[in-house]
Amino acid sequence: MTSPDETTAVEAEQTEESKKLSLEVKVESPSSCQRHVTVTVSHEDVDRYFDKAFDEMAPTAAVPGFRPGHAPRKLVEKRFRKEVANQVKGSLLMDSMAQASDEQNFSAISEPDFKFDAVELPEEGPLTFEFDIEVRPEFDLPKWKGLELNKPVKTFEKADIDKHLAKVLDRFSEIAPIDAPAEMDDFLTLNIVSKLDGKEIARTEEISVRLRDTLSFQDANWEEFGKTVLGVKAGDKKSGKATVSEEAANEDLKGKELDLEIEVLEVKRLELPEMNAEFLQKIGSFESEGDLRDFVKADMERQFEYHQQQQLRGAITEQLIKDADWDLPPALLRRQAGRELERAILDLRSYGFDEDAIRGYENTLRQNSLQSTEKALKEHFILERIAEEETIEDAPEDYEREIMQIAAQSKQSPRSVRARLEKQGLMDTLRNQIIERKVIELITGEAKFTEVPAEADAQASVSPIEFAITGQPVEGDIPEAQEEGKEEA
């Protein structure tokens, strides 16, 4: 049982720990999302933290000539001041930064940036230190109830299902070399060289490319690829041009038009499997071709739901951010670009897109990374504010549902998916995705819709490859999902 004296001592210690610091805080705003904070901690608080550290040390302090815990307090303080200084400094900095941020009502979007070793505890007088922190900008929440939106709709006809079925069957088809002119959707093995003023910039050899309208690199698009290459045979050489993205990593080549040269090493064509009972059982225990076509249609509808939601989200956020003229620092955009890419790819995987389609979206995002990240950050800030005001929160079942969906689409176990997300540090990304989706659902529930025919998916005519024509290595590649067990439809 705790004695009255012990209870009083504990209460006194808790009161001491919870006592607010006496701070002077000066805040400068270099931009909408940046704060430079100068904090001055009173000398009395510095002494209080030292006293607390020595109170904890004194009962066990070992000083020559004295039994442990029996040395005079003044001697303990003199002998161990340097030893406890780092502990005191760390506690003071952590507590004062937290209090300063709370009192200034910061909505921090990153950890404070400051140099711990550069801060020195004074022998006398107050402690002063500075730090930079990125925060959510301050803004008036735009009107979000009763938005008027166009809702894309689509009915899937037999031709649509045939086309998507062929795409599904690609995974079970044999690819064989042919001695015939290349047709659309054939596979080409190419050597690709990019040049500027006749000087070689980058090269990739024996890379497999699907013959489609556009060839998508990580930093450019060859728009006339299909038109230029259609009909080639092994041994042929072709040339074209592509303009480097303004957001490419290579500063010297941004916005420049490079010459592209390809050598065709081989032309291959898919040989579709025979649609018999054995094959239908093998790929997914389908009883008939009709069952397979029903599965394909459901897959198309799920992926169209993604496109529909993306277009609705785009229409919503276009209205919400039209007055968001905040100045977002380029360093913040570059750092957040990877997180935006991670979020987009998590979304695509949960809706069952294959790795080729994901690579296409990834290349598009890379080519416009700063622009798309700026838009995504503004969306995020506004949607987070709405979530706070409407008390929208994440729940454990939200994570379970998202992970189950990704697992089902990638043929992995939920446990493996969760482990991978945690290892890659993507659980925060998943949390943002959950919150934003809930807010979008809330906004759409309050919106007025006009149904319009859906636009064609531009990615369907793009062949994406992992190659930068500037030769600049791309950082932060998204690892592909590893499938478990046999491949199924």
Choose between 4 and 485: higher pLDDT: 4
Q: What is the pLDDT of residue 3?
A: 52
Q: Residue 473: which pLDDT band, with cuts at 50, 70 and 90? A: low
The rounded distance, in Å, linking the Cα atoms of 232 and 200 is 24
CATH 1.10.3120 domain residues, the chain: 140-172+284-455
Q: Residue 306: which pLDDT band, with cuts at 50, 70 and 90? A: confident
Query: Which fold would CATH assign to domain 17-134?
Result: Alpha-Beta Plaits (3.30.70)
**Are β-strands 148-153 and 448-453 bridged in parallel, bridged antiparallel, or unpaired?**
parallel
Query: Which fold would CATH assign to domain 140-172+284-455?
Result: Trigger factor, domain 2 (1.10.3120)
Is residue 405 pLDDT above 80, yes or no? Answer: yes
Query: Which fold would CATH assign to domain 174-271+461-475?
Result: Chitinase A; domain 3 (3.10.50)
- For residues 39 and 112, the answer to whether their CB atoms sit within 8 Å is no
Is residue 278 pLDDT above 70, yes or no? Answer: yes
Q: Residue 184: which pLDDT band, with cuts at 50, 70 and 90? A: very high
Which tens digit of pLDDT belongs to each residue from 283-305? 877 889 999 999 999 988 888 88
Q: What is the pLDDT of residue 459?
A: 61
Choose between 343 and 143: higher pLDDT: 143
Is residue 482 pLDDT above 50, yes or no? Answer: no
Asked which of 62-66, 360-364, 389-393 is least confident by mean pLDDT, the reply is 62-66
Q: What is the pLDDT of residue 186?
A: 94
Asked which of 7-11, 230-234, 336-340, 434-438 is least confident by mean pLDDT, the reply is 7-11
Choose between 5 and 151: higher pLDDT: 151
Q: What is the pLDDT of residue 118?
A: 81
- Please state, rounded to an integer, the average pLDDT across all residues of the chain: 84
Q: What is the pLDDT of residue 335?
A: 78
Q: What secondary structure, in 3-state letters, does the chain show?
A: CCCHHHHHHHHHHHHHHHCCCCEEEEEEEEECCEEEEEEEECHHHHHHHHHHHHHHHHHHCCCCCCCCCCCCHHHHHHHHHHHHHHHHHHHHHHHHHHHHHHHCCCCECCCCECCHHHCCCCCCCCEEEEEEEEECCCCCCCCCCCCEEEEEECCCCHHHHHHHHHHHHHHHCEEEECCCCCCCCCEEEEEEEEEECCEEEEEEEEEEEECCCEEECCCCEECCHHHHHCCCCCCCEEEEEEECCCCCCCHHHCCCEEEEEEEEEEEEEEECCCCCHHHHHHHHCCCCHHHHHHHHHHHHHHHHHHHHHHHHHHHHHHHHCCCCCCCCCHHHHHHHHHHHHHHHHHHHHHCCCCHHHHHHHHHHHHHCHHHHHHHHHHHHHHHHHHHHHCCCCCCHHHHHHHHHHHHHHHCCCHHHHHHHHHHCCCHHHHHHHHHHHHHHHHHHHCCEEEEEECCCCHHHHEEECCCCCCCCCCCCCCCCCCCCCCCCC
The rounded distance, in Å, linking the Cα atoms of 429 and 338 is 11
Q: Please name the amino acid found at residue 36.
A: H
Is residue 480 pLDDT above 80, yes or no? Answer: no
The rounded distance, in Å, linking the Cα atoms of 423 and 121 is 38
Q: Please give the average per-residue pLDDT across 117-132, as a whole number.
A: 85
Out of 26-35, 61-70, 381-390, 477-486, the most confident range is 381-390
Q: What is the pLDDT of residue 382?
A: 92
Choose between 13 and 128: higher pLDDT: 128
Q: Residue 324: which pLDDT band, with cuts at 50, 70 and 90? A: confident
Percent of the chain with pLDDT over 70: 91
Is residue 7 pLDDT above 60, yes or no? Answer: no
Q: What is the pLDDT of residue 359?
A: 83
Q: What is the pLDDT of residue 485?
A: 39
User: In terms of Cα–Cα distance, which of 191, 192, 194 is closest to 470?
Assistant: 194
CATH 3.10.50.40 domain residues, the chain: 174-271+461-475
Q: What is the pLDDT of residue 111?
A: 79
Cα–Cα distances in angstroms (integers) from residue 113 to residues 127, 193, 252, in the given order: 18, 43, 30
Q: What is the pLDDT of residue 174?
A: 87
Is residue 201 pLDDT above 90, yes or no? Answer: yes
| Cβ-defined contacts of 482-485 (< 8 Å, 24+) | 482/412, 483/410, 483/411, 483/412, 484/411, 484/412, 484/413, 484/416, 485/411
Which tens digit of pLDDT belongs to each residue from 106-120? 788 877 887 888 888
Q: What is the pLDDT of residue 478?
A: 43
Q: What is the pLDDT of residue 84?
A: 78
* CA of residue 72 relative to chain centroid, distance: 57
CATH 3.30.70.1050 domain residues, the chain: 17-134
Residue 164, both tokens? 């998507």
Is residue 13 pLDDT above 60, yes or no? Answer: no
- φ/ψ of 209, rounded to 5, equals -130, 140
Choose between 65 and 408: higher pLDDT: 408
Which tens digit of pLDDT belongs to each residue from 33-89? 888 999 999 989 988 988 888 787 777 777 777 777 667 777 766 777 777 788 888
